[in-house]
Amino acid sequence: MAEVFEMTHPLVRHHITILRDSRTPPALFRAQTRRLATLLGAQATADLPLREARVSTPITDFVGSELAVRLALVPILRAGLGLVEPLLELLPEAEVWHLGMYRDEKTSQPVEYYCKLRADNPCDVGMVLDPMLATGGSVLSAIEALKRWGCPDIRVLSVIASQPGIDRLRREHPDVKVYVCAIDPELNDRNFIVPGLGDAGDRIFNT
């Protein structure tokens, strides 16, 4: 079964409450998304391998550590863009590869319109970024694209997931790790997460 990490840190619970509030204006919504993405990023990178790194401080030589893997951030357009900047602050050497998908409002199925992963030289760790994991369709499509690329370690970072979406991901990709700030119990008849926070892309970009 896929490993699922639901964060219970007090700061996560505090910031996500503000994020959910329908009165939260777009500028604050974006700021809260960045804060939660930073906390998610710290959790999702906690087990990354390190290698020895030798440097010279102003006083003497020092043997420290550096990341031993090549990372890729893979935001699902457009809402996933809201998670990129804070993760690049933590991982400035990470590559960024974009996947464009939108949800067909009639079928709730993802429709891919952009994918430009290079044909060779896959990353060591790929992080799929999507604030909302509802039915799981878009995230599953992104995972499949990364697997075709040859990425051996795939991790999903979402602010809020639905339990049905988590269950589906566990069934179809049990090797993928999932990091979320909250797991909500259900989807409504439009496949929106309940209680959720509405459409993350619309709220991030004020549309």
Tell me the pLDDT tens digit for each residue of 47-100.
Answer: 999 999 999 999 999 999 999 999 999 999 888 999 999 999 999 999 999 887
Flag the least confident range among 87-91, 104-108, 135-139, 173-177: 104-108
Give the start-to-end residue ranges of the domains of the chain: 4-205
Q: What is the DSSP secondary-structure string of 100-156?
A: EEEE-TTT--EEEEEE---SS---SEEEEE-SEESSSHHHHHHHHHHHHHT-SEEEE
CATH code that applies to domain 4-205: 3.40.50.2020
To the nearest whole percent, how much of the chain has pLDDT over 70? 95
pLDDT in tens, 11-31: 999 999 999 999 999 999 999
Tokens 């999702």 belong to which residue? 44
103 included as an active-site residue: yes
- Regarding pTM above 0.75, the answer is yes
Whether residue 197 contacts residue 72, with contact meaning beta carbons closer than 8 Å, is answered with no
* Residues 6 or more apart whose Cβ sits within 8 Å of residue 77: 98, 99, 100, 101, 114
**Choice among 13, 17, 107, 148 that is catalytic:** 107
Q: Among the options 34, 78, 103, 170, which is catalytic?
A: 103
Query: Is 202 in the active site?
Result: yes
pLDDT at 133: 96
Whether 107 sits among the annotated catalytic residues: the reply is: yes
Element counts in the chain: helices (H) and strands (E): 6, 13
